[in-house]
Amino acid sequence: MTDQYAVIGNPIGHTKSPLIHRLFAKETGQDITYTGMEAPTEPADAFAATVRRFIAAGGRGMNVTAPFKLQAFAIADERSERAALAGAVNAMKFENGRIIAENFDGVGLVRDIEVNLNQPLAGKRVLVLGAGGAVRGALLPFIAARPAELVVANRHVPKAEAVVAQVASSSRLIACGYRELETMGQFDLVVNATSASLTGQLPPVAPSVFSPRGAAYELAYGKGLTPFLRLARNAGVQGVADGVGMLVEQAAEAFEWWRGVRPRTQAVIDRLTVPLK
Ligand code: ATR
């Protein structure tokens, strides 16, 4: 039987994952199906029941999107270190009835920055805005890239401090508020990992953090030039990007984890990219 995969969320209509994985399957010659699946949010065990039904029907793996990333963490039998630190799961593999859980969002982000955007992070100054689930998921992959300094800035500073306190690092790791950024000079990379862009808002970040020779990265995608990217561009930053590459790269990580073969990503990224104007 053809191996079955799915992305589970609610709502699920917007998801690009089936298209991405079908393109990967075609390119690598893998015989799989990949569908979008909407699970009910009520009652509380509806998500787990939907996953169990998929496993019973022969499902081999799933991607997980909002609002189920925490519930996926809770039902897992095994969790990777990245998933454990994030407290959230975006990919699951089913083996002998067991749920093995991963979080590829952070590795996808760092790979997009270092490989696709050609911005190696070793020895660089990196600023991450926000301290929610997205940042917890990205912290270990950022540290693995060995920047000289990694600053996590958040409106609510104790939340940034708590995130930073969870990890050990050979890079300088700093948690702070937005005001302190004004005296910290320029960063080679500034990543907006807040949820501000989802509502068209701008995190209160000073334009002085941007380096014209550096890069600015917006985790959200398909929203065009967000207020954050516009601020970066007005500060002279040439290298601005949104999260479409991260989306495709995290999918590639999951595909390789499931199928043992790495798909090529650039053509898929090009196909999904909405020009930043
Ligand atoms: P996610 O899991 O998507 O990261 P989250 O855990 O709800 O979402 O976290 C949202 C993050 O965006 C938080 O860091 C939040 O800052 P606070 O912790 O200080 O609330 C940040 N955020 C949301 N709206 C923001 C805004 N308008 N400006 C700056 N930060 C914002």
Q: What is the DSSP string of 16-64?
A: -HHHHHHHHHHHHT--EEEEEEEPPS-STTHHHHHHHHHHHTTEEEEEE
The parts of the chain modelled with pLDDT lower than 70 are none
User: For atom 18 of ligand 1, which residue has the closest CA?
Assistant: 156
User: Taking the CB of residue 44, how many other CB atoms lie within 10 A of it?
Assistant: 8
Query: The CATH number of 106-242 is which of 3.40.50.720, 3.90.1150.10, 3.40.190.10, 1.10.1740.10?
Result: 3.40.50.720
Asked, colleague to colleague, whether 3-103+245-272 and 106-242 share their fold, the answer is: yes
* CATH number of the domain located at residue range(s) 3-103+245-272 in this protein: 3.40.50.10860
How far, in Å, from the CA of 263 to the mean position of ligand 1? 33
Q: Give the pLDDT of residue 46.
A: 97
Task: For residue 134, say whether it is annotated as part of any ligand binding site.
Answer: yes
Residue 91 contacts residue 254 (beta carbons within 8 Å):
yes
Domain spans of the chain, in order of start = 3-103+245-272, 106-242
Q: Which residues pair with 6 in a beta bridge?
A: 35, 62
pLDDT digits (tens, 9 = 90+) for 158-215: 999 999 999 988 889 999 999 999 999 999 999 999 999 889 999 999 999 999 999 9
User: Hey, which residues are catalytic here?
Assistant: 69
Query: pTM for this one?
Result: 0.95
Could you tell me the distance, in angstroms and rounded to a whole number, from the CA of residue 183 to the centre of ligand 1?
22
Query: Which of 64, 65, 157, 195 to probe ligand 1 with, by most ligand atoms within 8 A of CB?
Result: 195
15 among annotated binding-site residues: yes
Residues with CB under 6 A from ligand 1: 130-134, 154-156, 159, 194-196, 201, 203
